[in-house]
Structures are given as structure tokens and as C-alpha cells.
Amino acid sequence: MSALPNKQPFDAGRAAYLALNVALLFFLLAPIVIVLVFALNPTPYISFPPVGVSLRWFDKFFGSAEFMNALWLSLWVAGCVLVLSILIGGASALALARGNLPGRAFLTAFFMSPLMLPAILTGLALFQSYLLIGIGRPVWGLIMAHTLVAVPYVIRTTLAVLHNFDRRIEEAAAVLGASPVRVFFEVTLPLIRPGVFAGGVFAFIVSFDQFPVSLFLVVPKGETLPVVLFNYMKFDLDGAIAAASMVSILLALSVVLVLERLIGLKAYVKL
Amino acid sequence: MAVDGVTLDIAAGEFFSLLGPSGCGKTTSLRMIAGFELPDSGRVHVGGRDITDLPVHRRDMGMVFQSYALFPHRTVAENVAFGLRMREVPRPEIGRRVKAALAQVALTGLEERRPGQLSGGQQQRVALARALVVEPPVLLCDEPLGALDRKLRQQMQFELKELQKRLGVTLVFVTHDQEEALAMSDRIAVMNRGRVEQVGAPTEIYERPRTRFVADFIGEINILEEAGQARALRPEKIRLVSVSDARVAGTVETANFLGGSTLYRVRAADGRSLLVRETHAGERAPRGTGDAVGLTWNDSDAVKLES
Amino acid sequence: MISRRKALRAGAGLAAVGALGAPAIAHAETATLKITTWGGKWGDIMKATVLPAFEKEFKCTVSADQAFPFMPKLQTSSKTDPLYDVFHTNSNEQWSALTEGLVMPKITAKEVPNVADVYPYAVSDKIVGVTIFTSAIGLGYRTDKGLTKPTSWKDLADPKLAGARGGYLIPVNSLGQAHLMMLGKIYGKGLTDLDAAYKALEQLKPIKLVDFTGQMEKMLLSGEVSEGVIHDSGVYRYDGQNQAVDFASPSEGVLSLEQVLNVTPGSKLRELAFGYIDYMLRPDVQKMLAEAVWYSPANKKVKLDAKYDAKLLTTEAKVATLIQPDWKWYNERKDDIDARVTKILKS
């Protein structure tokens, strides 16, 4: 392409490329725009063109104790899942990449397996086991379930970083007098951190948006936001759903942005 | 990559090179000295002390890697300070020594840069400063100049050599580049297939190769087979003379003009092909392809090789 | 805007989450009745008024699960220690639960005294457990599209309505299933005449399909659907909101969409569970809920305000128009029917 003369009036390839990008963007953003229009439109159903702009659905969402309890529970669960999956996923990825473990391919597949299983089955199976061992459905049970499906994301991103990791850097630190523990904290950890946290962001979102796994594991008065929204839709399909969706989207987005700011996901390591 | 029965005796303050093709065991030997690999048998001593059982971080060595292995998440100054921090050197002293070390490698002013913002040559210097700042008795270099372009490489060769002499550090240098080894080393160990073929000063290795491998690996060589005895004869030891005075007569097959010299490939009457290097100062036109030439040399220059 | 008071309430939610870990121990000696119940406006009133009053009177706590799906959760839990004591669903699900032995076949006046006062349909042979409310499934329509008020189920087939009529994804919605049976009755020999029903369904295409009733309400409100199958409460709930929609009861009869309560045989709180059903059948409780969500009360003794009384099924004559599908019959054939209707509606 670049070899072609610059002044060519119309470059079909470039135009097609641009058109494809615009189409993709539109495809990704259009649903969000529709949700936003629904959220701001005062009628309790989607109408085009919108008849006005109102915050009544946001008001309803933030004014509902049920929605707020669910929102806080979801955030709390997602926060715990973020921390747990970073610890578990990061450690597992290190063990898988560095541990010289027998049956490493099998172990990797095993750790990834929660992604292969339909999430609804994971939820049902866990529900069954919780009932069987008689622990009921505590919040920590829900957190564990979410962590189960979130950990593979952290393992994936961490393994990607470890794969490109130049181990000479660790050796250099060792020669310079760093004990294995110090090598880990001074070199290994800072260098894999972007991968671990990128996975952590996924983990947070996976948990925050989690519906199928939660479906069976929530208890009365302890329902996460997606579950509450789903049940709400069956009785009241109005703009509060759209308002809740907007809030969810914005929350997820801000978590990504904050983590990006704090840790610099794109930083210095090639992902 | 295994090594077998390698015995190296390296003197304090010496520039010692491990030279050989890739896979010869030179890097493995270096990593054994550093402590990354453990020998199945045999010991590693430094200054009379047996360090075989010491872990890497307690061996008190410096090391420079081909990939530089700088800490990408730390600044130049932090990279250089790392070894001092590990040794719990007081802060003010760290600052002073880092500054001195960077001055030594002409990097003053780049303290706050990150490795990613430096050129290859600059990164190499940082790696060097980082290794030397802790004043290790032994500095290990694993093809440290391998990633640099030719010109920069030559410049770094001089600098490294000069620095090593000034600091009096014992330097063990791994390279596959025979010119580099010859130019820099006090002594060279030529390795092949996990064994040391010959240890000696560069001139000795060049002039009196002990084995066919050493002769062949370093520079151009003619191997003469006479009554079951192989002899090595450097191309520059062969003189071009008139056919009547010659030990061997032949014709020039190719003539490569190299600037200060010309390298001829001569087909002898008996069918052998010989390399001949003729140095000249421009007063005589080089011979051309197809010219009849006579060759002669001194017997003492044809070195006997071990079979 | 979000008022300060509401923001504070949002803050209080956090404390509630923090306390989630420990409720079981705090009330160890109080019995906890585990029930399923609906969400939406119904759920709001249950949580705000009905359940607190019940808890006070019966000195217990109620754990009300509003999160679908109830059936698989009950199936998964142990029969001797079921997840629910009282199972509230529509009639069709009670029948599936009964075949698996998850609920009792009948609730009689012996266990629940107020059953003596219910209309016959509430405990008919089409019902497992006891009906506490019913809705009438008929036709909802737009009043602003020049349509005459439908009088027959056949009106939905009017060619004018092509693409503007509304129905359900039959495999997942019991209103759609009931409607299919109704088609058998209208166009064939009866509710179980599936061949006639399939043929009639074919004639309803093109038709807009939704999976739950809330969506049908919105389609009618937004005018995307001009006439569709819906239950009366789904239309009457917009009464007084100035919406151009109304409900019509076809002359052939309306289908009944019962709210059924039942007790799980393994319940350790059987007496309390019966007490809860009896409570839900009390005239004052029935009146409150009926007027909140436009459900027709099952108890004959309930006197609704005139506005509600005019529209809901509150007399022997009016409840006589209810047609109750045979869900046992339907559930046994559900897989075949699902496959068949999916094919019909897809092509």
C-alpha cells in the first residue's frame, strides 16, 4: 500500500479499511447508545424518537434499597474476587510456568477448565455440592464460585507475560547478590504485575457481571445486581433496567481506568 | 551442552576468554562459575576458596549478559545501585558509587532514564557499570558485545579491555568470535564439544595450534598431510616465489584483494588447494587468476598437529 | 436528581451487605419459613407489609426467594430438607413439581381452614396445591389504532393484524402454552386438539414473539404490537396512567393463570407453612394484594373496591368464564410440542 503514490485521489483499500473500522465501532457502541436512550427516556418502554430526557429511571434505581443492596453486594463480591484471583491466579501461573511440574499441560488445562464448562452448570454443580455438604449458600461460597471462573483469566494473562519473560533479568539480580526471595519481590513480581492486574481487571468484570454462576448461589436478600436485574425484568421492564446497565457499564469502565492509572497496564512489559 | 573434564586455571587480574562455536560448552562453563549450573563432579575455586556449594547470590561475582538483562522497570541509577542495595551499603555511599560507576562508562546525565530509552551501546555500558560497581573480584561476560553492530563493538572492545586493566578485575569472557578473543584476551581457552582443546596466549593459539580444530577455528589455515602427520600452515607463512625456487608450483584460482593484503587460492600441481596471504604496500600489482606461481615456506612454520 | 435521602439509603446498603454473613446464628431459636414469591410490585408489598405482619403474628422469620428459577433449585435440594417450605408458582410448574414428588397433591380445608371459602376453580382437579389468585388470559389491544374491541380469540387472526399481533415463545412461556391449547379449542375439538392448534398457529404468522409477559406489556404500550395475548393484570396495572391500551375477554372464555401455593412434603415447618397459606387466603390480605397488582382473589368473601370489582373476576358468574388448562396433560407432551411449534414459528 505504502508504495503507491501518495496523491492518489481515492484509495479503495484504505476506504474499505476505514469503513470496516467504523462498522465495528458502530456495532460495539450502538447497543450502549440504545441503552442510554432507554435510560434517559421518561416512558416505561423503548420509544423512538425519545419523547424527552429525564433522570427518573436513575432516580428509581438509586432510590431502590433492593437495587442498592444488590449493587453494593456485587461490588463487594467483585472486589474480593479481584484480590483472590490475583493471588491464586498469579501463584498458579508462576507454578505452571516455572515449577517444572510433572503433567504441566494437563494442569494448565485443568486450571482453565472452568472456562470450558457452561457457567450455568458450574453454578448448579456448586449449588448442589454446597447443599450436599450442608454449608448453605454463604457469601463466601458465592465469592469462591466467582473466583473459580475468574482465576483462568489471571492465569492466562500472567502466563502470557511469563512466556515473554527474559529470565536472565532474574539471573542478573541473583549475581548481584539478591536471594531468591528478593529476586521475586524486586524483579519477578514487578515485571509480571501488569499481566496479573490485567487479569485482575477481567476477574473483577467477570464477577461483577456474573449471572449464570450466581443464579443458583444467591440467597434471598443477598442477590447480586445481575440476578436482581434479571428478576426485575420479569415483572417491571422499564427504564430502571437501562439505568442500572448504564451504571454497571460506567462502574466497570472506571475500575479499568483506575487500575490502568495505578498500575499502567500497558507499561513496560510486552503483553 | 554438557561439559566434560574442563579444567581452567585463571590468574587474578587476567582477561581470560572461552572461545568456541555455539554448543561447545563455553556458556555452560561460565554459568558453572556463576553458580547457575552445578557440576556433577569437580569444584569451582576462587582465590583458593571453594565456592562450589555457594548459591549464586553469595558468590560475589559480576556478570554481563548478551541481552544486557537490565531491569526494565528501574532507572539507570536504580539498575546500577541494585547490587549495592543488596549488600546493604549505606545510602549516601550508594549515591556516590553509582555516580562514579556511571562516569566510568561515560553515562553521566542518563541516571533517570529507563533502559528502554537507551541505545544498545548505552544499555551495554549500564550493564557493565551495574556489574562493576560492586567491585567484584571476578567479572563474567557472556557474549556481552554480541548484540552490537561492528563499529560499536570494536569501540567497546577497547573500552572494556582498558577498563579491565585499570580496575585489575579478573574477567572471564565468553565469545564465539575468534577475532574478538584474539584482540582482547590475555589467554584463551578454545573449546569444542564440551572439552578444552587448548589454553594459551592469543599468539600461541594462533601460531601454534595444537589440534586440527583449533587451527581450523581460528583464522585461515592450510592443513598439510605428510606421511600420516598433519601440519598446520598459516596462509601468511607461505611466500610467493618464482616457480624455479618453489616447493610447490601451481596456478592462481582466485585472488581476493583485502586492502592491506591479498588472499590467493592456489591450485597446486598435485591437485591440493592452498591459501596464501601476501601483504603488500601497493608497490606490486597483485597476481591475477590463471597466473603461474611458486610457493615456499619454512618447515618450522608448519606446526605439527595432534592426531 | 438523586436526593440526599436516597443517597443515604444507598449508603445503608453497604452495612446490610456486611451483616449478611451471620443471620442464621442470630435467630437460631426463631423458625425461618422459606418461601418463593414474585418480585415487582407484588414483591414490594409482600416485603413491606404482608410478610412483616405475618412474621409478627406467627413469631417467625420469612426468607422469601424472589430469584428465578425456583424449580431447579427445589429439585436440587434434598427432599427431606427442601430449600423451600412453601412453593409459590403458576399452576403448570406445580404439576411438574408434583410428578417429582416435590409438593403435596392437594391442600384442603382441613390443613388450611380458609380453603373452605375459595371458588371451586381454586381447588379443582386442574390444580395441585391451592390457588390464591388468578389472572384471566385474554387479549390486550391498542385503543388508538381503529381496532374494534376484540370479542373472540379468532379476532387475533384478522389479516389487518399481520406483524402487529403479539404472542409468546411457547417453550418458555406458560401464557403461550395456554394460548396454544385455546387455539385447539377454538379451531378444533377442544383444548387437547393439537393438530388444529398447530394449524391455527400457522395462520397467526407473522407474529411478534416475546419470552415474558413484561415484554408483551411494553410492546403494547409502545404500539409495536396492536393486539396480543396477555393476562388482564398486565393491562389493568396501567389503569389511570393514560395509556391507550385495554383488555378484552373473548366470548369463548378466558384462560386462567393461577397463582398457586403448595407445601413441600419434607418441610420441617409444615404447620407454619399451612398457616402461611391460610394467612394469604385471608380476605384482608387478599384484598390488599389484589388491588395492588390486579389479581382476582380466590377467596369468595373478599370485597374489592368498586373500581377493581368491576374488572376482576369476583363473582360466581365471572369465574365461570375461566377455562383451566390441563397442565398434567400438557407437561407430558411438552418436548414434542416445543419441537413442533419451534418449527412452525421459525419458518
Is A34 inside a domain boundary? yes
Model confidence band, residue B147 (pLDDT cutoffs 50, 70, 90): confident
Q: Which residue among A7, A26, A54 closes a domain? A: A54
Please tell me whether residues A125 and A76 are part of one structural domain: yes
User: Which residues face C296 on adjacent strands?
Assistant: C134
Mean pLDDT of A61-74: 93
Do residues B71 and B148 lie in contact, with contact meaning Cβ atoms separated by under 8 Å? no
Determine the residue type at A177.
G
Do residues A52 and A262 lie in contact, with contact meaning Cβ atoms separated by under 8 Å? no
CA atoms within 13 A on the CB side of B131: 32
Model confidence band, residue B257 (pLDDT cutoffs 50, 70, 90): confident
**What are the tens digits of pLDDT across the range C134-146?**
999 999 999 998 8
CATH of the domain at A176: 1.10.3720.10
Please tell me whether residues A113 and A144 are part of one structural domain: yes
**What are the tens digits of pLDDT across the range A3-13?**
445 555 678 88
Is A9 inside a domain boundary? no
Q: What is the DSSP string of B194-259?
A: TEEEEEE-HHHHHHS--BHHHHHHSS--EEEEETTEEEEE-GGG-EEE-GGG-SEEEEEEEEEE-S
Ranked by mean pLDDT, which of A44-48, A266-270, C271-275 comes out on top?
A: C271-275
Residues 6+ apart with CB under 8 A from C238: C217, C221, C245
**What are the tens digits of pLDDT across the range C73-82?**
999 888 999 9
Residues in C touching A63 (Cβ below 8 Å): 2-3, 6, 9
Rounded CA separation C271/B264 (Å): 113
Please tell me whether residues A46 and A74 are part of one structural domain: no
Residues in A touching B56 (Cβ below 8 Å): 171, 174-175
Grid cell in block for residue C343: 418449527
Please tell me whether residues A133 and A199 are part of one structural domain: yes
Is A186 inside a domain boundary? yes
- Percent of chain C scoring above 90 in pLDDT: 83
Residue B58 contacts A where some CB pair is shorter than 8 Å: yes
**What are the tens digits of pLDDT across the range A168-218?**
999 999 999 999 999 999 999 999 988 898 899 899 999 999 999 999 999
**What are the tens digits of pLDDT across the range A221-257?**
899 999 999 988 888 878 898 999 999 989 888 887 8
Do residues C322 and C187 lie in contact, with contact meaning Cβ atoms separated by under 8 Å? no
Please tell me whether residues A168 and A251 are part of one structural domain: yes
pTM of the full structure: 0.80
Asked if B86 and A176 come within 8 Å (Cβ–Cβ), the reply is yes
Q: Are strands B15-19 and B170-175 parallel, antiparallel or unpaired?
A: parallel
Please tell me whether residues A88 and A117 are part of one structural domain: yes
Burial of C197 (0-12, 13-18, 19+ CB in 10 A): buried
Residues 6+ apart with CB under 8 A from B41: none
Residues in C touching A62 (Cβ below 8 Å): 2, 6-7, 10
Is A161 inside a domain boundary? yes
Which residue out of C55, C218, C231, C242 would a mutagenesis test of the A interface target, given it has the greatest number of A Cβ atoms within 10 Å?
A: C218
Residues in A touching C12 (Cβ below 8 Å): 65, 68
* pLDDT number for residue A270: 38
The subunits that touch chain C, with at least 3 C-beta pairs less than 8 Å apart, are A
Please tell me whether residues A34 and A77 are part of one structural domain: no
Distance to chain A for C110, nearest Cα, Å: 31
Q: Could you give the number of structural domains in chain A? A: 2
Query: For chain C, what is the radius of gyration of the CA atoms?
Result: 21
**What are the tens digits of pLDDT across the range C237-259?**
999 998 999 999 999 999 999 99
Please say if the pLDDT value at position C203 is more than 50.
yes
Do residues A66 and A224 lie in contact, with contact meaning Cβ atoms separated by under 8 Å? no
Residues 6+ apart with CB under 8 A from C342: C170, C171
Grid cell in block for residue C162: 399481520
Please say if the pLDDT value at position C22 is more than 70.
no
**What are the tens digits of pLDDT across the range C24-39?**
444 446 899 999 999 8
**What are the tens digits of pLDDT across the range A87-118?**
999 999 999 998 888 888 899 999 999 989 89
- What's A184's DSSP letter? I
Please tell me whether residues A236 and A195 are part of one structural domain: yes
Is A123 inside a domain boundary? yes
Please tell me whether residues A23 and A98 are part of one structural domain: no
Q: Domains in chain C, ordered, with CATH? A: 32-134+257-317 (3.40.190.10), 136-254+328-346 (3.40.190.10)
For the CA atoms of A259, A261, A266, A269, what is the dihedral angle to 10 degrees? -90
Residues in B touching A268 (Cβ below 8 Å): 72-73, 114, 116
Q: Look up the domain containing A24 and give its range.
A: 16-54
Is A130 inside a domain boundary? yes
Please tell me whether residues A43 and A90 are part of one structural domain: no
Mean pLDDT of B66-74: 91
Is A170 inside a domain boundary? yes
| Nearest CB neighbour to A175, from listed B63, B67, B87 | B63
Specify the 3-state DSSP secondary structure of A237.
Answer: coil
Model confidence band, residue B284 (pLDDT cutoffs 50, 70, 90): low
* pLDDT number for residue A258: 83
Is A6 inside a domain boundary? no
Please tell me whether residues A90 and A165 are part of one structural domain: yes
**What are the tens digits of pLDDT across the range C275-309?**
999 999 999 999 999 999 999 999 999 999 999 99
Q: For residue C67, what is the nearest residue in chain A, using CA coordinates?
A: A231
Average pLDDT of chain A is 88
Asked if A55 and C1 come within 8 Å (Cβ–Cβ), the reply is yes
Residue B134 contacts A where some CB pair is shorter than 8 Å: yes
Rounded CA separation B279/B282 (Å): 9
Average pLDDT of chain C is 90
Average pLDDT of chain B is 89
Please tell me whether residues A73 and A37 are part of one structural domain: no
Longest dimension (CA), chain C: 64
- Which regions of B60-157 does DSSP assign to beta strands (E)? 61-64, 138-142
Nearest to A190 by CA among A117, A103, A264: A264
Displacement of CA C43 from its chain's centroid (Å): 13
* pLDDT number for residue A49: 77
Asked if A222 and C20 come within 8 Å (Cβ–Cβ), the reply is yes
Do residues B181 and B188 lie in contact, with contact meaning Cβ atoms separated by under 8 Å? yes
Residues 6+ apart with CB under 8 A from B194: B1, B2, B3, B4, B6, B24, B25, B28
Chains C and B lie in contact, requiring 3 or more CB pairs less than 8 Å apart:
no
